[in-house]
Amino acid sequence: MTELDKGKVYLVGAGPGDPKLITVRGLQCLKECDVVVYDRLASPRLLRYVKPGTERIYVGKLPDRHTMKQEEINQLLVDLALQGKVVTRLKGGDPTIFGRVGEEAELLYDNGIEFEIIPGITSAIAVPAYAGIPVTHRDFASSLSIITGHESPDKLDRSIHWDKVTNATGTLIFLMGVAKIGYIADQLIKHGKPPETPVALVRWGTRVEQRTVVGTLETIEGIVKAANFQPPAVIVVGEVVLQREKLKWYENKPLFGLRVLVTRARAQASELADQIETLGGEPCEFPVIETIEPSSPEAVEVLRDKLDLAEQYDWLMFTSVNGVNYFLSWLRKFRIDIRRFFGAKIAAVGPKTAAALAEHGLIAEVLPMKFYAEGLLEQLKPQLKAGERVLLPRGDLAREVLPMELKAMGLVPTEIDVYETVLAEQQDELALEWILEKEIHMITFTSSSTVTNLLELLKRKGVADPVALLAGIPIASIGPITTKTALEAGLVVTIEPEAATLDGLLQAIVDYQQSQLAEKAREEI
C-alpha cells in the first residue's frame, strides 16, 4: 500500500457535552470525514453535521455490548485509515487532557498513518463556567492547576506532590475524583489549605444532567455522600466557588434539566432542536420520518400533467412547509413558470407555511385561526365558490379531510403528491440507547406520521411493546390531529398547545416544565 492509498485520522476534541462548544476546526473535520468514531462523552447532536453516507461507529456501551476497550479503539482507527478512509475520532473535552489521545496517535504513527490532533474545550474550564464558577477572578485567583483525581490514594500520593500542589495556585481543578473526594480534601487540609476553603463538585457539566453540590474542604465529603453524588464530575477548590450564587446562568434557564426527543424529519428537526437548546433543554434528535420525491415514472408524469394545467386553477392550497418546497422544486424541474398560476389565489394552513411561501414572494390569503385543514376551510369559506378548481400540493400521507370538504362545497380539488413520507433508515445508536434506558424526559410529536413511525421503528429495533416502553414519559403533541393518532396508538398525551405551531408547542412545554418545578418546590416545603 502506498502513502496515497492510506487515509487520515483527525483526533478531535468535541468539548464537554454542549454540542455548540466544538471548535470551528473540529466541526470542519466532522463535515468532511468518511467515518466518525464517537462515544457517549461526545454529543450525538454533532452527528447531524456529517455528510450523507458517512459511516458512524459508536464505541460506547450498547445493550448487547460493553464499552469497547481502548486498545480496540486504537486498532479500529488504524484499520479504517488503512482502508483509505478519512476518519474523525470524536472525543469528549480536550483529547490531550486525560483523553488518552497519546495512545491512539502513537499507534497511528507506528503504522505510518497521517493524523492531526484538534484541541477541544476542556471540561476543567467549561464545566465550572456552566455552573457559574469562573476558574480565575482578579479578586480570588490568578492561576489554576488541573489534576487527575482518578487514581487510588497510594497512586495519587506518588503522582501528586501534595505539599507543592496545595498552595501552588489559586484554583485547584480535580478531574475524575468524586470517589476520592474525602481523601483529596484531607490531603489539602493536611498540607495547608484552610478547612473552610470553598469546594464545588459539578456532575455532567454543560449537559442536561448537570448537578452541582457546594461545601468546604471540611464538609464536602459528607455532602457528597448524603446527596449520593456520582461520577463523572469536576471538582473545583478555591474562593472562585463563591461566585456561583450570582453567576449560575445555565441552571436558571426554563428548560434546564429536560432531555427532549425530537422525532421530526432530519431536515426539519434543527429548528425545534435549536429552540429547545436555547431554552436550556437538551434536544435528542431521533428523526423517524424522511421526505423524498416520488420516484416512479408514472407518479412523475402525473405531476407534470397536473402542474402543466397551471392556468386552470383558481386556488393553490398548501398544508405544510414541505408542500411548498417540493411544489416549487417540481416547477423548477419541469421548467414551469410560477407566473402561469396568475389566476390562482393562495392559501396556507399556518404561519410557517405562509412564511415559506413569502420567502419566494408568494403571499397567502388571511391565515386560519386553527392551523389545520378544518380551520383553513372555516376561514376561507366566504371566499370559496362552487365550481372553482383547487390544486392541493401535498404529501402521500395527507389526510382526506380537505379534498372531501372541498368537493362537498362544490369545488373541484386536484391532489398531487409532491413528496412521500417514509420511515427514516439511519438512526443514532446513543439516542436509541437513551430511549431504551428511559433517559428521555419528554417526547415531541409534530405529525401523525412521527407517532406511527416511532412505534414502528422501535419494533424493528426489537422492542416488543413500544407503547409500554414509552409509558410514563410526558408526550407533547403539536395539535389535535397528532394527538388523536397518539391516543389511538395507546399513548397518553400530556401536552397540547392551543396553537398548533412549533412556537405554541415550545411555550406549552415551558409552561408544563415550570408548573412541574413549582409543584416539586411546594412538596419540598
Catalytic residues: 39, 61, 176
State the sign of the Cα–Cα–Cα–Cα dihedral 473, 479, 484, 485.
Answer: negative
DSSP sequence for 370-382? SSSHHHHHHHHGG
Residue 465 and residue 436 in contact, taking contact as beta carbons nearer than 8 Å: no
Q: What letter represents residue 192's amino acid?
A: G
From the list 88, 26, 18, the residue with the least C-alpha distance to 57 is: 88
Q: Identify the burial level of 247 via C-beta atoms within 10 angstroms of its C-beta, where 0-12 means exposed, 13-18 middle and 19 or more buried.
A: middle
Instruction: Please calculate the CA angle 360-288-65 and round it to the nearest 5 degrees.
Output: 140
Expressed in angstroms, the distance from the first to the final Cα of the chain is: 70
**Backbone phi, psi, residue 338, to 5°:** -60, -25
* Gyration radius from the chain CA atoms: 28
Chain Cα centroid distance, residue 192:
45
Instruction: Please state the length of the chain.
Output: 525
From the list 74, 102, 70, 96, the residue with the least C-alpha distance to 87 is: 74
How many other CB atoms are found less than 10 A from the CB of residue 397? 15
Q: What is the DSSP letter of 168?
A: T
Alpha carbon distance 392, 413 (integer Å)? 7
Torsion of CA 470, 476, 480, 482, to 10 degrees: -50
Residue 81 gets the label, from left (phi > 0), alpha (psi -120 to 50) or beta, of alpha
